[in-house]
Each structure stands twice: as C-alpha cells, then as structure tokens.
Amino acid sequence: MPPIIIRDPLWNNIRVDARALRLIDTGVFQRLRYVRQLGLAYLVYPGATHTRFEHALGAYHLAGRTLALLEERGELAQVAADEREVVRAAALLHDVGHYPYSHALEEIGALHHEEVARPLITEGQAADELRETIAADAPARVYSLIRGESESPLQGLISGSLDLDKIEYLKRDAFMCGVPYGEIDVDRLINSLTVIPDPVSGRLSVGVLEKGLSALESLLFAKYQMYRNVYWHHAVRSATAMYKRLVGDALRAGALDPRSLASYTDEGLLHQLDSFGGSPLLGALRERRLYKRVFECPAGDLADGTGDWISFDHDRARAAEDALATELGLAPGELLIDFPAKPQMLGLDILVRRKDGHVRRLTTEGWPGSINLPLLSEQLYRSARVLRVFVAREVDLERETVLELVREP
C-alpha cells in the first residue's frame, strides 16, 4: 500500500505509511482527536483548539525527516534496521496517555501521562499492530523510548534535550495561537542532528554538530517566550486552576474514578462532571467567567524553594486556599493559589561534535567562553514562573499575608 498524504497547516504534506496508518486507526490514537493540545488556552487564544492528534502526526513527520537525513549521511549503518520503525512509532504514540485538557490533571497528583500510556502501548490493539508490523518486542521498545529509558542510539530523538516533540509542539502551538514566539530554526536543528559515540562510554547516541548550537538557543528562547506569553498566561493559569479544583473536588467526592480519567475526551469529562450535578466552577469555565488575579509575585522575587509545596502537596494547597478564602469572607473554592511547576526551561545533556571533530558533552555546567545556556535557562524559567492568587469575587488581600503563607516550611 503506497503512503497516503495528510494535509497539515504547519508541515503541509505528511506522508503516512501503512504501518503508521494502522496505528492511527486504533481507538487509543483516535481519542487524541478530542484532547486539545493546550488545554484551556483556547479561552485566551481562540485558535488554540488544535489537538494531540495533529501534534502526534507532526512528531511522526519530523521523525521521518530526521531519520532520512541520518540515513543519507550513512549514520544509521550501526543501528538495527527495525529501530527506525520503532522510533517512528514512538513519535506517533508518545502522547496516547494524555488526560483531557493536557497536563492540568498531573498537577493535582494524577499519574503521569507516560505511565498511563504503558498499557495502551504494551497491551491491546496498538501492541498487536506493533508486533505484527515491526517486531515481537516492538511494544516494549516503543514504550522504553517514550519513557526515556531505552538503550537505543536514537533515544534522543524521542526524549532528550533536543527531542522532536519539543520542536513540533513549540512550532505548532505558536502557529495556532497566532503569536510570533515559537520561531525555531527547525531545518538547521534537524540538519545538525547526528549519531556519534559518547567519548566516555563509546555508546552511540544522538548529538548535535557545533554549528547547530545557535539553533538550540532559538529553541530555548522560543520555549521561554511560549511559557511567558501562552502556557503561563495569567488567564490560562486562572482557567487551569479552576479546572484542577473542579476535577479534584469531583475525585474527592467519588463522582469520578481516577482510574478512568485517561479514557475521557475533553468534552466527555465535562459532560461526566455535569451528570453528577455540576459545579459553579463548571458553569464558570463554560461561560468563560474566569477568576481574577488579586495577587502575583514572580518566582525571581522569592527565595529558592519558597512555595514549591503548592505544586506538589495538593491537600495542603487546597487547605491553604480554603483557610485563606474563609478569612476573606469567600466560600471554599472561590480562592485558588497557583504556582506552576516546571523543572527547567531546557534540560541540557547532549553530545556536541566540535568543528575540530572532537566530541564533548554539553551539560548543566555549560562551556567556558560561550553563552551559558544552563544558567540562562534557569534565569528565564524563574522570570516566567509567577505565584498568583485568583478569586471569584473582588476582595482586599494583603501581599504580606500571601508571602507569609507560602514561606511556611
């Protein structure tokens, strides 16, 4: 069967072969048509209604382009023949475990989407297709790549400092939001990728030619701009905080089974919540009556570690919200504290082939005499991350009250 062509607004023509088409036609992949890539960002950027489905197709497309370039340069001679198909399948399936409305539910303690993906890839229809079209051990190999735990020389294409997922979502998200922030030199990046031996272990790994470091900088700045202006936009974070509280309350009340969360589509989950009597938060989200900012403070103005518990100690954060709400004359759930967690803007651990042919590993320590990308990454991250308090009704909230609350060990 010859490849079919799927028209895409970002990459134009995406050629899909018979193996990939069989995976696309599985139920776990088709669900991604109804899971928005950017969650509730469409309430701020109306064009941000694109889904995990087209993002996954884009990642598959970039994997094909990159593998073709590596093949052309003879860099895949020592890579198992079927490993290329495993990589393409991993690029296609990397998001099948995502919850409705993107990453929001992981912020309230739901199992990470990569863990959710385990049975979806290693069991059932998708696993059957992988075994039949690639190899008997293909499901395990695909999942290992997605988890970043594979011994494959091509691991870095799926999970790493320069993985194709990052390149695809930053370009697509900026394009669909209609903002100029996701400008990445994609061709330069992909053409700079190489397969080279680690100078310490001798193992082959994905690396980058030194000439591609400027394109790596473009990736870092694009990611920072997108976090600052889209992903962590104050109204997007308000809607996300409302959604997290809505689902968290439903889980505590037994109205939702946490084991079924990853089976829902975006609208399917809202419908399920509505069938249990709804909530003022549900109505407010549907009518875009978002909570307003009453406090905000950049992470750079706080001591290291201050308030980090808000993003991982969910029971404590909920109790703090309700205590502060009561103090201000608000009902429980009418005040929400938000402090997004993100380990770093750009994790760096990548092999670089220097112009003189030597291979060196670029890590968080950086290189003397060049832009210190790790330090810059941390500075950008701290300037983009903001502690905020959102409220349903206008109240007077003293700044020091919030700072004392978040400073508690």
Of the candidates 297, 312, 302, 317, the one whose C-alpha atom is nearest the C-alpha of residue 342 is: 312
Q: Are 57 and 32 in contact (CB under 8 A)?
A: no
Q: Would you kindly state where each structural domain of the chain is located, as residue ranges?
A: 4-218
pLDDT tens, residue order, the chain (409 aa): 788 999 999 999 999 999 999 999 999 999 999 999 999 999 999 999 999 999 999 999 999 999 999 999 999 999 998 999 999 999 999 999 999 997 888 888 777 778 888 999 999 999 999 999 999 999 999 999 999 999 999 999 998 878 899 999 999 999 999 998 867 889 999 999 999 998 888 899 999 998 888 888 888 888 888 999 999 999 999 999 999 999 999 998 888 888 888 899 999 999 998 887 768 999 999 999 999 999 999 988 999 889 989 988 889 999 999 999 999 999 999 999 999 986 555 566 788 898 888 888 877 665 554 556 666 667 777 788 999 999 999 999 999 999 999 987 7
The Cα–Cα gap between 119 and 115 comes to 8
Contacts of residue 80, defined as CB under 8 A and 6 or more positions apart, other chains included, come to none
The C-alpha angle with vertex 193 and arms to 89 and 37, in degrees rounded to 5, equals 45
Of the candidates 10, 104, 97, the one whose C-alpha atom is nearest the C-alpha of residue 60 is: 10
What does pTM read for this prediction? 0.93
Task: Please say whether the structural domain 4-218 has been given the CATH code 1.10.3210.10.
Answer: yes
The Cα–Cα gap between 325 and 322 comes to 5
